[in-house]
Chain A
Amino acid sequence: MHIEIKYFGMLAEVTGCSSEILELSVTPVSGLKEFLFKKHPGLQQKDFRIAQNQELVSEETMLTGQEIAILPPFAGG
């Protein structure tokens, strides 16, 4: 399936883009992480969380292909 991944803050610097479309088979979040580490090795040293449909998800959550975002540590306020 095609999924659009959004990158924010320092992670957009690491990947060199704010979003990209990836072709992935059905996988849990852990599989997406492995894929991203191969594509953007710089991410391996970074602390980040993944949101699907605007909610943080765990490694076991299955990707549905809708609105995936890779989020660095929060710094609001």
Chain B
Amino acid sequence: MKTTYKNVFKQGPISSEFIGASIAKHQSKTGIGAHNIFLGQVRADEIDGKAVAAIEYTAYEEMANKKFHDIRETTFEKFNLTCMHIYHSLGTVKTGEICLFVFVSSPRRKDVFKALEYVVEAIKKEAPVFGKEIFEDQSHQWKVNS
């Protein structure tokens, strides 16, 4: 039997309204004393005099959702968290728009600082997500995480 994992992907950029609504939803979870949020934003890198205008994201979605699931499980084992949410864009995200939203919550601050860095680094390293950097003249190159 094939396990279905939670879908982390959203089509297009992640809006500030969506992020705001996610924060609001936590007001009922009164055991939480600290949230920490990472927002990845598409940067207008300049390469050979040409500026990046957007990144077009694709992914090996089944494997990526499984990896995101594994990262989530490992993070809950390592840190004392109340909850965690991860969203990643697919498709075109223009410069200045948000492509990754990671949200961790805990009773206390120390756990969220450490947990957030752990999650973001694991995503960059382990999730099979691919990015095509589209320049203003519509030419492109493939992004590689450093």
- Measured between beta carbons, the chain A residues less than 8 angstroms from B129 are 74-77
**Interfacial chain B residues near A76, Cβ < 8 Å:** 57, 59, 64, 88, 100, 123-124, 127-129, 131, 145
Determine the chain A residues whose CB is within 8 A of the CB of B143 once the complex forms.
75
Closest to A51 in B: B63
Task: Say yes or no for A54: interface residue by CB 8 A criterion.
Answer: yes
Bound state CA distance, A6 and B144, in angstroms? 19
Q: Scan B47-82; emit 1 where CB is below 8 A from any A CB, else 0.
A: 000000000011110111010000000000000000
- Closest-by-CB residue of B relative to A71 is B128
Interface centre among B64, B66, B99, B131 (most CB of A within 10 A): B131
Q: Is B10 an interface residue (CB 8 A)?
A: no
Write the chain B residue with the least CB distance to A10: B142
Chain A contact-residue range equals 10 to 19
Given A9-B142, A69-B60, answer yes or no on A77-B40 (Cβ-Cβ < 8 Å). Answer: yes
**Which listed residue (B60, B62, B120, B131) contacts A75, Cβ 8 A?**
B131
Give Cα distance in the complex from A72 to B129, angstroms. 9
A-B pairs with beta carbons under 8 A, tally? 68
In the docked arrangement, what's the CA distance between A77 and B129, Å? 8
- From B68, which residue of chain A is reached at the shortest CB distance? A76
B100 and A77 contacting across the interface, CB-CB below 8 Å: yes
Q: Is the CB of A8 within 8 A of B60?
A: yes
Say yes or no for B125: interface residue by CB 8 A criterion: yes
From B58, B99, B128, B142, contact of A77 by CB (8 A): B99
Chain A: CB-nearest residue to B133? A75
Answer whether residue A41 sits at the interface, using C-beta atoms and an 8 A cutoff: no
Min CB–CB distance A68 → chain B (angstroms): 11
B118 part of interface (Cβ distance < 8 Å)? no
Closest-by-CB residue of B relative to A55 is B63
Please list the residues of chain B having a beta carbon within 8 angstroms of any beta carbon in chain A.
40, 57-60, 62-64, 66, 88, 99-100, 120, 123-132, 142-145
